[in-house]
Structure 1
């Protein structure tokens, strides 16, 4: 998912450079949403890993 966020970020930068502001804004929003989802999933897995590690003796 993080890979797709980076792809949309690059597309947004390229389209912004070429002057397609509508497409650039849309792809930047998609990249931001995908990054937020990836960050939430990472934090959930980190929390699960820390709790599983503390439960093991």
Structure 2
């Protein structure tokens, strides 16, 4: 499960970089940032519940 979350974080990061590089795809950067933050938050919450 954590490997999948790590893969998703990498995909979102690539989307952010592509969105900032290509001016016409600025919306892609915004979506990538939001998805990156949501996935990171979910992963952090999942890890903290696994430790208990």
Shorter-chain TM-score range: 0.7 to 0.9
Tell me which stretches of 4 or more aligned residues in structure 1 moved more than 6 Å.
none
RMSD of aligned Cα (Å): 1.1
Tell me how many residue pairs correspond in the alignment.
Answer: 47
From 6, 10, 30, the counterpart of 2:35 = 30
Q: Which runs of 5+ in 2 are unaligned?
A: none
From 7, 11, 18, the counterpart of 2:15 = 11
